[in-house]
Structure 1
C-alpha cells in the first residue's frame, strides 16, 4: 500500500476496529469449499519443459510438490498449471508415515512457472493451455479486468505453507458480483477427528482348519460366549489355522485418510491351566500383501479372554496404504493357534477387527502458521503461510484477494512489474521487504474502489491553541484525519448531498 502522509508519524489509531476487535473487523469471507474436495495424486513428472497439469482437489504431500518443482526434478523448467477450481492444501508430511517428512509441511516452488487459473496470452485472450515458460505476470485471466474470469482459490489448512523461491507464480481468482475474488484463503476454523471402527465382523469362513466343522460364520462373528469354534490338540506342540474374510468398513473410507491404529481381536480360551495358547494372526487387505502380528496367548481358563493383536504398527504397510488410497474394502484374517500340550482344547468365540483412522477435514490454521508475534524471519515456531523469498528470477503475484486472517504473509520483492496483491489483503501480519534491485515505484497492494460514486480524500490537521486567537499551524498537529468526500455526480454535485467519511485518524500521545 502507498503511504500518502510524509510528515512525522503520529500515534497510530484508526476506525477499522472496535473494543471487541481491536485489530480490525474480519469480513469473514467464506471459503470456496465447505468440505475437503477429492484427494488428488500428483500428475506424472517425466519430461522437462512441458506443461504439468493439476486438477482441483485436496493435496496433502508438500514434499512431493517440492520435489516436482525443484531444479533437479525430471520435469524441471516446466509450467505448473493449476486448472480453474478450488484447491485444498493440507499437508500431512509430519503426521502420515506414508509421506516423506523431509522439509516438513512446506511446499517450495524453486523452479519453473506456476499458473493458477484460466490461461491467457499477452493480449489477454483465453488460450487452451499456458506456454512454457509462461510470462509472469499476465499468464492467467485477471478477475479485476475481466468479469468472465474463472480462476482458482488456494485454501490452506493446518500448518501448511507455500514458499515461492526461485520459481515464479501467478494466482488468479474468480470474478463474482457478490464477493471479492479471493485467490488465497487461510482457514480459521475446523478440525479433524478420528473415526473409530470397533468389532468389524467376518462374513465368510475361507478355511476351517482343524476347527472343522465348528468354525462357522455364526460361531465366529459375534462375542457371545455361547456360539464358538472348538479344536482339540492331537499331539504336543500342535497347531491349526482358521481363515476368514470380511471386516469391511460400514461406509467407504475416503482417500487421503490416515491409519492411526489397527488390531485383530481374538476372543478365546483353552483348557490347560499352566500353558499358553500362542496366537499368530495374518491380515491381508483385499488386493494387498499380508501383515502379521503375534501374541503369547493366555493361560488356560474356563472363561473367554480377549487378545487385541496390533497390525501394521508402523502404519506404512498394505493396510495403511489401502486406507490412504481409499481402496480398503475388507480383508482376510488367518488365525493360527499353537497348543503345547496334547488334548488341550481351544475355543474361539470371535475374530474381529478394530480400526482407527483420520479422514480428510477442513482444518483451521495451526502451529507455527498462527504463532505470534511474527518477526519476519520464519523458523520452526513462527512461520508465514505464504513466503516469497526475493531470490533471483523470483516473481509472485496474486490477481485477487488474499485472505489469511489468523496467519502471516512474508514477501521479499525483487523484480516486481506491477501490484503484487490485487484486490486487497486481509491478514494477521504482513511483512514486505525490498531487495537492492527493486525498482518498481507503484503500490504493492491494490485496494479496489468500492465507493458509491466519485471520491476524493484530504488530510485535515488539527492544532490546539494555548490561548484565544490565531496560533501556529506548523510542527506536529494534535490530530490528523483522512477524510473522504463522495459525490454521486462529480460534474454537477448536489448541494448538501455530499457524503463525508472519516477513513482514519491519528493523535499525539
Structure 2
C-alpha cells in the first residue's frame, strides 16, 4: 500500500504578511501625521512670533517718527507733545490672522547723556524778513554787482519804496515785495510783487524793537601801547570821537585786536568813526585773542546762531549791542569787523541798534543820518580787499541808511536780517559768494540741541490700549540733535528681550 503525500495550504502566511504590511504602513503614517502636526504648530508659533516682532518694531518706528516730526528739545514739553511722555497707538498693525496689535511707547530723557542748551528759532526771536527797508521815497534797496554776479538772500525782502537792481541779480528763496517799482533782474519764489502801493501788508511795518534800558555811563577808555596788541573795551557810553579814531585809524595801534567785551555800547560822538586798521571783535571771543595773530573773521566771536561757531556742550552766547545816537556813524576801511549779538528765545539778537528816541543822555538819531537826500550812512564799508564786515545778529536802524561795498566777501554780511531806512549793496566783479549774503534763519525747535531719550515699547493684541506695566517688548536709546537747522535722529541701542 502506497502512502500519499499530503499538500499544505499557505493562505495563513499571506495573512501574516498582510498584517505586517498594514502595521508598518500604520506606524509610518502615524509618524508622518505626528511630524506634520508638530510642523504645523511650530509654523503657527513662528508666524505669531513674526507678527509680534513686526508689531513691536513698527510701534518703535512710529514713536521715532513722532519724535523727529515733533518739537521736543530736551528741556521744554514732553517727548510726544506738551504733556505726553507715553504714546498710545491703538490697533495699528493687523497680522495675517488674528486680532490687531496696539502699542504703548514710554519715553524718558536720559539726563546723563543729554547736553547743550537748545537754540530755538521762531517768529518770537527773529525778524519777519531778511531785508526790510522802511523809507517811503527813492530806492529802499539798491544793488549793483559788477560783472553781473548774484546777491543771494535767505528770507523775505520787503521795501516800502523802490527796489533797483542796476547791475547783477538779486535772488531769494522766498518772496520779494515792494510798494514802489522793481527794476532789474530779480528771482524769487513766489514771483516778485511790486507797485502794491498803500495796500495793507504787515511785513512792511516797523517792528519797533524796544531800545536798551541799561544806563549809558562812560567807562575807562583803554590805553594804546603800540602796534599788534590786544586792546579791551568795556560796555558804556563813548563820546570822544578823537580817541576812538586814534585807536583804530592805523596810526598809533596798527593791526591791533580791539575786543569789545559783552554788553551794551552807546555811541554819541557826533561824526564818523573810522576803522582803518586791525580787527574789531564784538562779543565773547571764540578763542583767546593773541596780539600779532590775526583772528579768524568771521568766526571770531560766539554767534547767537550755531553752528557758526559750532555748538558745544554747555554752549552759551554773550554778545554786544552797539547803540548809535545823534549823527554818530561808523566806516570800515581796511579793517576786519565782526559783531555778535546775544541770543534770546523771546527777541531777536540785535547787534546794531539805531535810536528812534533818546535813552538818558544819548539822543535819537538825527542830522545827516536821517536826511533822505545828501545824507550819510550809519554803516559804510569801503571797497577794499582788506575790508570785512560781519554782523552776527539783527541790524535794526529804522531811521538810517546802510551802504555796503564788497570785494572778497566769503560769508554773510548780515546774519539775522537787516532793518533800515535804505540799504545799498555794491560788489566788484571778484565777488563770488555761493551762500546767502543776508539771511534770517529757518525756524528750528532746537538748533544745536542734543538730547537722548530711552523708549520702552509695550504691545498687546485685541485691545485698543496697552498697559505699560511689566517688562517691555522692546527697548531703544535714541538721540535727537539739530546741529544745522534740520532735526536728526540717531538710534544708539535697539534690544528685544528674549
TM-score (normalised: structure 2): 0.48
Q: Which structure has the greater CA radius of gyration?
A: 2
The higher-RCO structure (CA 8 Å, 6+ apart) is: 2
